[in-house]
Amino acid sequence: MGGGLLRLYGNDLVRLERVLDPLIAAALFWWIPSLRGSHLPPEILWPGGLIVLLFTVVFFSLGNIYQTYRQISLLTLLRRITFSWSQVLTALLLLGFATKLTARFSRLEYGVWALFVWLVLISVHVGGRLLLRWYRIKGGNTRTLVFWGSPVSAVDFYQQLTDLPHLGLRLVAWFQPPNTTQNLLPPGMPSSDGGLLELRRWLDTNDVDLIFFSYVSNQDLSMQQLIQFFGDTCKPVFYVPPWSQPSMRFQVDQIGRLFCLGLWGSQESMLDRRLKLFVDLLLAGIAVIVLAPVLVLVAALVALTSPGPVLFCQDRYGLDGRRFRIYKFRTMTETESGNQHALRQAQRGDPRITSIGRILRSWSLDELPQLFNVLNGSMSLVGPRPHAVEHNEIYRKLISGYMQRHQFKPGITGLAQVEGWRGETSDLQAMASRIEADLRYQREWSLSLDIKILIKTILKIHSSKAY
Q: What is the 3-state secondary structure (H, E, C) of 177-203?
A: CCCCCCCCCCCCCCCCCCCHHHHHHHH
- pLDDT value at position 422? 76
Q: Is the pLDDT of residue 393 over 60?
A: yes
Tell me the pTM.
0.64
Give the model's pLDDT for residue 467.
Answer: 52
Region 133-142: what's the mean pLDDT?
Answer: 78
d(CA 280, CA 375): 8
Name the pLDDT band for 1 (thresholds 50, 70, 90): very low
Give the architecture (CATH level 2) of 143-243: 3-Layer(aba) Sandwich (3.40)
Residue spans of the domains in the chain: they are: 2-137, 143-243, 270-459
> Would you state the pLDDT for residue 4?
46
If you average pLDDT over residues 109-115, what whole number do you get?
85
**pLDDT above 80 for 42:** no
Residue 79 has pLDDT above 50, yes or no: yes
Give residue 420's pLDDT.
Answer: 85
Query: Average of pLDDT values for 278-303?
Result: 95
pLDDT of res. 464 = 60
Q: What is the pLDDT of residue 338?
A: 47
- How much is the mean pLDDT over the chain? 83
Taking the C-alpha atoms of residue 31 and residue 150, their distance in angstroms, rounded to an integer, is 60
Q: Judge residue 412's burial from the number of C-beta atoms within 10 Å of its C-beta, 0-12 exposed, 13-18 middle, 19 or more buried.
A: buried
For the segment 415-440, what is each residue's pLDDT rounded down to a tens digit?
999 998 776 666 788 898 899 999 88
Question: With 90 as the cut, is the pLDDT of residue 380 above it?
Answer: yes
Q: What is the pLDDT of residue 425?
A: 66
Q: Which long-range contacts (CB under 8 A, 24 or more apart) does 186-192 make?
A: 186/155, 186/158, 186/159, 186/162, 188/162, 189/154, 189/155, 189/158, 192/151, 192/154
Q: What is the pLDDT of residues 46-71, one digit of tens each?
A: 777 888 889 888 888 877 787 655 55
Q: What's the one-letter identity of residue 437?
A: A
The CA distance from 332 to 257, in Å, is 58
Q: Provide the 8-state DSSP code for 332.
A: B
The tens digit of pLDDT for each residue in 334-360 reads 665 545 555 566 666 677 888 898 889
- pLDDT value at residue 427: 79
Q: How confident is the model at residue 32 (pLDDT cuts 50, 70, 90)?
A: confident
Q: Cα dist. 164→157, 159, 168, 336, 376 in Å?
A: 11, 9, 8, 47, 45
Is residue 463 very low, low, confident or very high in pLDDT (cuts 50, 70, 90)? low
Rounded Cα distance, 38 and 121, in Å: 24
Give the model's pLDDT for residue 68: 58
Largest CA distance in the chain: 83
Q: Is the pLDDT of residue 2 over 50?
A: no
Cβ neighbors of 20 (< 8 A, separation 6 or more) are 124
